[in-house]
Amino acid sequence: MNLTNVQEQLRALGLGAWLLTDFRGNNPVALRVLGLKPGARRWWYLIPAEGAPLKIVSPVEPWVLDPLPGTKVACPERALVEAQLRAVLPVLGRVAMEYSPGGLNPYVGTVDAGTVEWLRSLGADLVSSADLVQYFEARWSPEQWQSHLVASAAVCEAIELGADLIRSALAAGRALTEWEVSSAIVDYLRQRGLRGMDGQNVSVGPNTADCHYLPQAAGSAAIGPDQLVLFDIYARLDHGDCVYADYTRMFYTGAEPPERFARAYAAVAAARDAVIARVEAGEPVCGAELDHIARRILIEAGYRDQLKHRTGHSLGINVHGNGAHLDGVEMPDERTMLAETAFTVEPGVYFDGDFGVRSEVDVYLDADRRVQVTGQRPDQITPLG
């Protein structure tokens, strides 16, 4: 943790302090920001916008915050912890914590309600640390951007590998199962030094309507002629703090997809491209606004009842990161998309028990807020027949 950077950001956001706490790993955000491992006792780390931080620890683990700057106080009793916090919290102004008003952002809301209630009873004016978390957790280093490019190339190659397997099987008159194609993709990614999940989403026919489908070894569907196929593939290099690439592509195992598939995909592609165009316009924009742009296009195309999910999510060392999400309805995210952060753009429409279509690319805003789009964004479903 760079104390100077944290305090500069606190002042930029008009915050008096950031209060971080953890008990046995229940606040992973605090652990990642401070570079710590879970301990057996609760600790408190108060970073004021000006001056030295305060470290409140248990005498059982007095060393837990030693890597961090500040004044340390060991408190064996809760009453002593309360006295320390009561003395400083009321005079600091707005204090950020990992909590989310109304529970709208569970990625950030890791501090329990009882703790929030208790701290407010001590005079704390608590606000969400969501903007701080995005700044310190979601921004990519130049090295992470390069790791994304490596993952991007491998994931795109894996998708083409899967498509070629299906194409060859069709030509030979042999049906492959979803599991066989998914397993071949997983094996390829592992050989390239990447990891994602034990399975990847290769779905056919009605299974494409399940937006989080994962085929299983037993009972996965066969991929035959004249069927809609969806690939949702994501992975990252399997070391350090490398970041993910996450793409969705649509295929049809015939010469030309039926009109109902093509029409739905055209609406999804239009929504995808409109979101990217808004980001490329250069004006600040929040995740909720981007979601509304895509949602409006899909609703106008007649797919209101076929919308199951938000338009995209933050992307980082976890496939769903802690930056701003393109979400205006499920967990509305009003945070501005920051430079050096990345997110997916993946609008989709789904007809339960029938079919679904989605297109997904990744967008990275570099240090100069230039828009870098990775992954393929075809205008139509790719035929394999």
How do residues 222-236 score in pLDDT, each as one tens digit? Answer: 999 999 999 999 999
> H helices within the chain, ranges in order?
3-12, 28-34, 78-88, 113-121, 130-133, 142-171, 178-191, 259-280, 287-300
With beta carbons less than 8 A apart as the criterion, state whether 222 and 177 touch: yes
Q: Give the DSSP letter of residue 326.
A: B
Angle, helices 287-300 vs 259-280, to 10°: value is 150
Residue 86 Cα distances to 7, 59, 92, 159, angstroms: 21, 20, 11, 56
Read off the CATH number of the domain in which 296 is found: 3.90.230.10
Count structural domains, the chain: 2
pLDDT in tens, 115-159: 999 999 999 999 999 999 999 999 999 999 999 999 999 999 999
Range of the domain at 200: 139-383
Provide the pLDDT for residue 35: 92
Of the candidates 268, 247, 289, the residue with the CA atom closest to the CA atom of residue 347: 268
Same domain, 10 and 68: yes
Provide the pLDDT for residue 107: 87
Same domain, 90 and 156: no
Same domain, 98 and 157: no
Same domain, 191 and 334: yes
Give the predicted TM-score (pTM) of the model.
0.92
Distance (Å, whole) CA 52 – CA 109: 26
Same domain, 50 and 173: no
Same domain, 147 and 131: no
Q: What parts of the chain have a pLDDT lower than 50? A: none
Same domain, 50 and 120: yes
* Cα angle, residue 361 at apex, residues 135 and 376 outer, rounded to 5°: 145
Same domain, 225 and 372: yes
Same domain, 156 and 109: no
Same domain, 125 and 26: yes
Distance (Å, whole) CA 288 – CA 333: 5
Token pair for residue 378? 């075809």
Same domain, 131 and 209: no
Same domain, 128 and 149: no
Last residue of a domain, which of 84, 107, 137? 137
Last residue of a domain, which of 107, 137, 167? 137
Provide the pLDDT for residue 197: 67
Last residue of a domain, which of 88, 118, 137? 137
